[in-house]
Structure 1
Amino acid sequence: MPGKLTVLEGVTIAEAITAKWEQIWNFQARDGDVLIDTYPKSGTTWMQEIVDLILHDGDEQICRRAPTFERMPFIELLHLMKPGIEVVNAMPSPRVLKSHLAVHLVPPSFWEHNCKVIYVARNAKDTATSYYHFDQTVQFHPDPVSWEDYLEQFMKGDVGWGSWYDHVKGFWEQKDKRNVLYIFFEDMKKTPQQVIRKVAKFLGKDLSEDLLNKIVKLSSFEHMRDNPMANNSGFPKEILDQSKIVFMRKGAVGDWKTMFTARQKEVFEDHYKRQMESSTLKFQDPK
């Protein structure tokens, strides 16, 4: 049975999440915890693997100890899938956690403990394209619609986890006020060494050149796609049905060109300009 979306504090979000909102909002972060937050399909799993490799000095075996979703739990889905809130509460500090929540919906304990937050943002057209394919696998979201209808919903923010515009701008506006490292997906693709070094410095780690290059290799799309502990192939089927579309599909920059018509591109870019004109946030929009 398809899931439903509702609106929580101005954000469109799955009823499966809001049903346990009090538990999510009251999640207790601790000193030293790291939160990786993104809008969906913006490089979340990729950044999770990079962070795990940095924190474990590039030890591939340690980083294969469990699937990504168990190593770095998804805070707003803990009531729907393992490891579950009790296990996460019992995990030793510091923990690395994941979320897709908009900045004002992040549990306040993360800010109270001045936790390090790594935010990854991806350009809008590629995000919409990737999310359209991914959303066909998400079981707690409504049944998929046509690409044309989906693009309209994306522009309005009527998709799970809300408006892309509000999400990326919300964290951008907080990055200098909070303990937030703001990373662009396009930079991860273009200059992975620079991004990984920046993330390592944020986490208080100094990487040798050899270790840096090792982490670049182990966190590459090709390596992760073939790593069952990193490619989310083991994600619970009641959450993600990957029978037709796998989680790690392309991971490319510029894939929007395979979906957008010339008219859709024109309409989208006009809408984008209006939504972003008041922000200092600028993306490298792949032409």
Structure 2
Amino acid sequence: MAEKSELSNGCYEYKGIKFVRCLVSPDNLDAMETFEVRSDDIFLITYLKCGTHWAYEIINLILTGGDPDKIDHSRREAVLEMMYMADKSNRTFGSWYLKLNSMEGRRIIITHLPLSLLPPQVFSKKVKIIYVARNPKDCGVSLYHVNKTFGTPDASSWEAFIGQWIEQKNLEYGGFFPHVLDFWKYRHEPYFLYMKFEDMKKDPRGAIIQFADHLECTLTEEELDRVVYNSDVKNMKKTYEKVEKNIPNGELLTKAMGKAPFIRKGQIGDWKNHFTVAQNEQFDAVIRENLHGTGLVFDFE
């Protein structure tokens, strides 16, 4: 297969992996080979719609002692490999990795890239990595709602979307299971922390302690309490409301392309409101086939 091939609906394949051209350009992916990683970088890696921005907020709150007002939200306009609005008045776009290159201070770098396309220096320099995975039923539901917001043909209805999701074919970033399993192999590395969205929801305080320990950040009990409180989804939404109100074009920092909210429900089990019995049985078989013998298991409620 050629390194890059064109697909329909504004998509293309890069080294066999599907991307949306208006979000991730081939040039950006080429640039990942030589992206300069700094020794104090924190890489937050997720598949799409797996609690990315919740985890990002937790990391920022840990670094600021739990104070959301000390977070510079302008440092989260995009994902490493994606485009961002370089000139908001003229709606022109730039490459976020170039913005990161010029960014001072410690960087928290979000990426959805699969293992094979991650900048090589991430592993050669052994920077701090946090990977967050989510059960594939809720992940699929959340991805459906985002795609529906953007009017993508594959999400014209739940029925149109779910067939493709169950088959795990023609999906962005190479699909859910290869993504979560490739990074699962690194879970025992000291620089790597593998977290599950469901564990974070069930024991947020314990998860935050794991995050802080991994980042070698010591929190007082008061600071820990603040991180727990301000990273709760309902309080994050209040923080995002302030961002939208107080920062010009602030919706670009709280919504994908200013349209699809980074935070929707943040729940476990919303899949029950979408999957039919037959769809659930079909997908259970797919989950068993992909995860059997790997040691990776998910909670679905």
TM-score interval (norm. to shorter): 0.7 to 0.9
Q: Distance in 2 between matches of 1:137 and 1:24?
A: 29
Q: Distance in 2 between matches of 1:274 and 1:3?
A: 30
How far off its partner does 1:159 sit? 2.2
1:66 counterpart = 2:66: no
Q: Which residue does the alignment assign to 1:205?
A: 217
Q: Distance in 2 between matches of 1:208 and 1:40?
A: 33
Q: Which residue does the alignment assign to 1:27?
A: 35
1:42 counterpart = 2:38: no
Secondary structure of the corresponding residue to residue 234 of structure 1:
helix
Q: Distance in 1 between matches of 2:76 and 2:107?
A: 13
Secondary structure of the corresponding residue to residue 181 of structure 1:
strand
Instruction: Give the structure-1-normalised TM-score.
Output: 0.87
Given residue 15 of structure 2, which amino acid in structure 1 is its aligned partner? E
Is residue 233–residue 247 contact of structure 1 (8 Å, CA) maintained in 2? Answer: no
Q: Which residue does the alignment assign to 2:81?
A: 76
Structure 1 gap ranges (5+): none
The one of 119, 139, 148 equivalent to 1:127 is 139
Q: Distance in 1 between matches of 2:65 and 2:75?
A: 17
1:255 counterpart = 2:270: yes
Q: Distance in 1 between matches of 2:163 and 2:59?
A: 34
Q: Distance in 2 between matches of 1:262 and 1:47?
A: 32
The one of 244, 252, 261 equivalent to 1:235 is 252
Equivalent positions of 1:138-177 (< 5 A) are 138=150, 144-155=155-166, 156-177=168-189
Is residue 49–residue 68 contact of structure 1 (8 Å, CA) maintained in 2? Answer: no
Secondary structure of the corresponding residue to residue 149 of structure 2:
coil
How far off its partner does 1:201 sit? 0.4
What do residues 132-182 of structure 1 show as CA deviations (whole Å, max 9, x unaligned)? 00122358x656332122122223242222211111111101222472100
Distance 1:146 1:68, change over 3 A: farther
Report how many aligned residue pairs link the two structures.
Answer: 279
1:273 counterpart = 2:281: no
Q: Distance in 2 between matches of 1:78 and 1:261?
A: 36
Is residue 53–residue 215 contact of structure 1 (8 Å, CA) maintained in 2? Answer: yes
Q: Distance in 1 between matches of 2:101 and 2:138?
A: 35
How far off its partner does 1:6 sit? 2.5
Q: Distance in 1 between matches of 2:204 and 2:255?
A: 34
State the identity %.
30
Worse-matched range after superposition: 40-49 or 219-228: 219-228
Q: Distance in 2 between matches of 1:3 and 1:116?
A: 36
Given residue 159 of structure 1, which amino acid in structure 2 is its aligned partner? L
Q: Which structure features the higher share of strand residues?
A: 2
Distance 1:38 1:255, change over 3 A: same
How far off its partner does 1:85 sit? 3.7
How far off its partner does 1:256 sit? 0.2
Distance 1:142 1:100, change over 3 A: farther
Given residue 89 of structure 1, which amino acid in structure 2 is its aligned partner? N
Is residue 111–residue 178 contact of structure 1 (8 Å, CA) maintained in 2? Answer: no
Cα-Cα RMSD? 2.7
Distance 1:109 1:138, change over 3 A: farther
Q: Which residue does the alignment assign to 2:128?
A: 116
1:190 counterpart = 2:190: no
Q: Distance in 1 between matches of 2:18 and 2:269?
A: 26
Q: Distance in 1 between matches of 2:293 and 2:150?
A: 33
Secondary structure of the corresponding residue to residue 239 of structure 2:
coil
Q: Distance in 2 between matches of 1:239 and 1:202?
A: 28
| Higher RCO (CA-CA < 8 Å; seq separation 6+) | 1
1:13 counterpart = 2:19: yes
Instruction: Give the structure-2-normalised TM-score.
Output: 0.83
Q: Distance in 2 between matches of 1:130 and 1:84?
A: 24
Worse-matched range after superposition: 188-197 or 208-217: 208-217
Structure 2 gap ranges (5+): 1-7, 86-92
Secondary structure of the corresponding residue to residue 136 of structure 1:
helix
How far off its partner does 1:61 sit? 1.6
The one of 64, 79, 92 equivalent to 2:104 is 92
